């Protein structure tokens, strides 16, 4: 018999192809009459199209979302939302834009909708990471949970293949760590396994044919599941390492996840046999860590932190930060082991326990 606690999700999810046409009805169902559409500068056209779709229920766009949710951008967006009398925000984009929506909602109490266009999964979590100066802080706050998430596979077709691959592996990392989370529960375990199966099938096809709608649907389904796992159970060593590397050296988010995952799994494997068996069902191989390493290598994902701009001299500092205030982890995290793990990940070597 297992003893567990499971927290259900409050966010309404709509999934399919062409589902963005339901945005006006979904906004209306929440009582939203003045929707501000958020995006990055690169997705400003998409945001403008959503304004058109919303018609009289739109109060325009704010297209300045940036990576790691800088507080200055949030303050500007809040002032804009107040100036136009917005009663809600609709984020169209990846984790950066969804993060901006959460940060605005936290400060204003506005309702939140999102149309996710990457596999990052932030739309399903109560997690808000923000940066002020060079400091990134991450909090779990129920107030930032979204009201409605509309997944429209069609909006993911334009995500370039290399970004799709690393974004997908970023989502797989949420699923892998959910399998061995301290507070894992049977539902999160099932969702995490299903997410890994989806990405194992979908990403090789997406990498070759980014416009394959079936594979895109499979990957987006995996992203929803993996994001839900990230929102429901705690993460461990892998997420801690990526958080430190992103915050300290400004390394790119999804790419860093892609490089670190096999190494974190190699460290944790001896302490998490049930999780490793589930990873192996999705990605058969000698062991879970090498299967993940081979999978990302075949897809052309980056393998070395040095190629992402990390200085070799930063390995010691990063190891110290990982060990200090570390997250719970299935296997103890010793400074020497983290240094060895980071040294291998920096050089692009194969993972080892």
Distance in angstroms (rounded) separating the CA atoms of residues 178 and 188: 7
At 45, is the secondary structure helix, strand, or coil? helix
With respect to ligand NAD, which residue has the nearer C-beta, 23 or 276?
23
Is 96 a residue that touches ligand NAD (CB under 6 A)?
A: yes
Cα angle 130, 136, 139 (rounded to 5 degrees) comes to 60
**Is 100 or 275 the residue whose CB approaches ligand NAD more closely?**
100
Stretch that binds ligand NAD, among 122-130, 198-206, 266-274, 297-305 (CB under 6 A): 122-130
By C-beta, is 34 or 184 nearer to ligand NAD? 184
Contacts of ligand NAD in 28-87 (CB under 6 A): 40, 42-43, 67-68
Among residues 75, 65, 141, the alpha carbon closest in space to that of 108 is found at 75
**Integer Rg of the chain from CA:** 20
The torsion angle over the Cα atoms of residues 183, 176, 131 and 302, rounded to 10 degrees, is 170
Applying CB under 6 A, among 24, 94, 247, 351 the residue interacting with ligand NAD is 94
Does position 127 bind ligand NAD by CB under 6 A?
yes
When asked if residue 99 is in the footprint of ligand NAD (CB under 6 A), the reply is: yes
118 binds ligand NAD (CB under 6 A): yes
Q: Which long-range contacts (CB under 8 A, 24 or more apart) does 7-11 make?
A: 7/232, 9/124, 9/228, 9/231, 9/232, 10/145, 11/123, 11/124, 11/145, 11/146, 11/147, 11/148, 11/149
CB nearer to ligand NAD: pick between 101 and 269: 101
Question: By CB under 6 A, is residue 302 in contact with ligand NAD?
Answer: no
Please give the residue ranges that form the binding site for ligand NAD (CB under 6 A): 40, 42-43, 67-68, 93-97, 99, 117-118, 120-122, 125, 127-129, 155-156, 158-159, 163, 167, 230, 253-254
């Amino acid at each position: 018999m297992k003893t567990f606690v499971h927290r259900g999700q409050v966010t309404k999810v709509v999934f399919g192809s062409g589902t963005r046409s339901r945005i006006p009805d979904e906004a209306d169902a929440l009582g939203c009459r003045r929707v501000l559409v958020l995006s990055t500068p690169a997705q400003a056209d998409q945001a403008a199209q959503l304004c058109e779709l919303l018609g009289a229920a739109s109060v325009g766009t704010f297209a300045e979302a940036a990576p790691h949710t800088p507080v200055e951008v949030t303050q500007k967006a809040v002032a804009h939302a107040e100036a136009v009398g917005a009663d809600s925000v609709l984020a169209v984009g990846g984790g950066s834009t969804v993060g901006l929506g959460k940060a605005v909602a936290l400060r204003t109490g506005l309702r939140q909708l999102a149309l996710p266009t990457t596999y990052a999964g932030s739309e399903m979590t109560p997690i808000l990471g923000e940066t002020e100066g060079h400091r990134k802080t991450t909090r779990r706050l129920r107030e930032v949970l979204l009201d409605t998430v509309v997944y429209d596979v069609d909006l993911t077709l334009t995500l370039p293949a290399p970004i799709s691959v690393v974004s997908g592996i970023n989502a797989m990392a949420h699923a892998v760590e959910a399998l061995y989370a301290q507070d894992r529960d049977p539902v999160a375990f099932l969702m995490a396994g299903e997410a890994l199966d989806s990405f194992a099938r979908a990403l090789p096809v997406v990498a070759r044919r980014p416009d394959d709608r079936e594979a895109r649907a499979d990957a987006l389904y995996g992203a929803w599941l993996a994001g839900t796992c990230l929102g429901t159970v705690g993460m461990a060593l892998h997420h801690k390492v990526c958080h430190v590397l992103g915050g300290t050296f400004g390394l790119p988010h999804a790419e860093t996840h892609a490089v670190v995952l096999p190494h974190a799994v190699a460290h944790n494997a001896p302490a998490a046999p049930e999780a490793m068996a589930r990873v192996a069902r999705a990605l058969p191989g000698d062991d879970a860590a090498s299967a993940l390493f081979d999978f990302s290598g075949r897809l052309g994902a980056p393998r070395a932190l040095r190629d992402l701009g990390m200085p070799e001299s930063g390995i010691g500092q990063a190891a110290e930060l990982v060990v200090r205030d570390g997250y719970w982890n299935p296997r103890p995290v010793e400074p020497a082991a983290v240094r060895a793990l980071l040294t291998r990940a920096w050089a692009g070597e194969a993972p080892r326990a």
